[in-house]
Amino acid sequence: MQSRGPRVQCLTNGELWQDEVAGLAGPRCVPRIPLLRAEANAPTLGNTAPRGRRFLQGKALPHAAQPLEEGTLMNRPFRLFSESAAPAARLRVQAVQELHRPQTLATAAMLAALHLVLNQFTIPVSQLLEVGFDFLAVAATGYLCGPWVAGLSGIVTDLLGYILRPNGPYFPGWTLSAVLVGMLYGFWLYRRPVTLGRVVLCKLNMVLLFNFLLTPLWLSICYGQSFVVLSSLRLVKNVIKFPIDIALLMLVLKTCERYRSAKAAR
């Protein structure tokens, strides 16, 4: 297709060429722009190649678009991603789309209710140390609903959890941690295969970031305790609890995986 401004034509192999006009001021450049939906052997405008232009042909370009079965780019609706788009990019778009799906929001609401129920059974070891399993509902929300829905669900569950079970003064750092936990579980697990290695790395990331960094930091701000002392108090608890958490996460996520497969088969 030929633009009416700069004399630039878009080729079907994903490249752009520019006229080589004698006396043109300034350096010539050949920019690269991937075509997302294009015909592999579509002719150029007018089926002829104007003189004085060089084409990049016969090369397997990494950004070349997948050919269509029929039709050309001009008579096909433009799509943001083709079949050759990166999986990570498609996952980001699908995660945003989950915010507009009523079924996803209903699933997130049910898991948020489960999170609040599990939060009521948290075992207080001391004023600064607790043992709980409400993270299982957060992981299921991230796996089924994506990072953005899980992050928003974290705001709701944190505020409602504080109303139902207040523990000390309210501090917005806990709400921030709840949002980040949901988002990270979503980034690690959303539409990804449930494997032991992925679950171990995901949980290890949560333990290092929250149990040894953010949670001691918030407690240090709220109660004036030493950050190092608060982090060391959690060392024994997390070493003992880590394999138990991994086993429970595998059980819950495998159940969610079977649920998603059964829903996709219907």
Mean per-residue pLDDT, 34-42: 46
More confident: 228 or 105: 105
pLDDT at position 250 is 96
In this predicted structure, the answer to whether residue 68 has a pLDDT above a threshold of 70 is no
Which tokens in the block code for residue 87?
């999986």
Tell me which amino acid residue 205 is.
Answer: N
Domain ranges in the chain with CATH number 1.10.1760.20 = 88-265
**Per-residue pLDDT band at 208 (split at 50, 70, 90):** very high
Tokens 């003992």 found at: 240
Query: 172-189 and 135-145 are packed helices; what angle lies between their axes, rounded to 10 degrees?
Result: 50
In this predicted structure, the answer to whether residue 244 has a pLDDT above a threshold of 90 is yes
In this predicted structure, the answer to whether residue 160 has a pLDDT above a threshold of 90 is yes
pTM of the prediction?
Answer: 0.65
Helix-then-strand count for the chain, H and E: 8, 4
pLDDT at position 235 is 87
pLDDT at position 127 is 63
Q: The dihedral of CA 174, 178, 184, 188: what is its sign?
A: positive
Q: Which CATH architecture has domain 88-265?
A: Orthogonal Bundle (1.10)
Residues in CB range of 238: below 8 A, 6 or more apart: 207, 211, 212
More confident: 257 or 7: 257
pLDDT at position 65 is 45
Least confident window among 14-18, 181-185, 228-232: 14-18
The rounded radius of gyration (Å) of the Cα atoms in the chain is 27
**Per-residue pLDDT band at 131 (split at 50, 70, 90):** confident
Mean per-residue pLDDT, 64-71: 44
In this predicted structure, the answer to whether residue 98 has a pLDDT above a threshold of 60 is yes
